[in-house]
Amino acid sequence: MNEPGQVLINRKEIAQKVEELAFSINQDYQNESVLFVGVLKGAVVFLADLIRYMSIPVEIDFMAVSSYGNSTKSSGEVRILKDLEQSIDHKNVLIVEDIMDTGLTLQFLSKTLHQRHPLSIQVVTLLDKPQKRLVNIHPDYLGFTIGDNFVVGYGLDFGEKFRELPDIHVLNQ
């Protein structure tokens, strides 16, 4: 049975990092507006906390993509399940992701969104597993680098379970 195990990153560390990331984004986009594109479902909690610290004009929209299903391993195939509801033409776009590992999802999203003529595209991710990277892509704003553990909590799930946990836990398998 899969259950949340030890706390890897506690809620206080998460809150502090989210505030730091927001400060950097605010500095980089002074006097500009940004469209935050939350990657559903995992990034919802992170996105909600992040926008609370924004001092710049922010719009939000969402995309849902799938590469995991109910597995702890990426299938390598990325599919759009829900697309944006608005145009990103000539807008600053910030993709908000919960975790970057293989990089395939973000490479797919970046390529797809670039075809829609945004002013800029950058990526903020709460967690990064660089040792899992299969493509050459890196976040512009990074919260934490973690090891090769499957993690849950703070919006991250396993089979739709454990998103509600306020800390990030290693999944016991």
Contacts of 103 (CB under 8 A, 6+ apart): 133, 134, 135, 136, 137
Cβ atoms within 10 Å, residue 39:
23
In this structure, are residues 89 and 82 in contact, taking their beta carbons and an 8 Å threshold?
no
Asked if 101 is an active-site residue, the reply is yes
Please give the Cα distance from 99 to 155 (Å, whole number): 10
Contacts of 138 (CB under 8 A, 6+ apart): none
Q: Which of 101, 148, 157, 167 is labelled catalytic? A: 101
How far out from the chain centre does Cα 133 lie? 15
- Whether the CA torsion 24, 100, 33, 59 is positive or negative: it is negative
Q: What tokens does 12 get?
A: 């206080």
The set of catalytic residues is 101
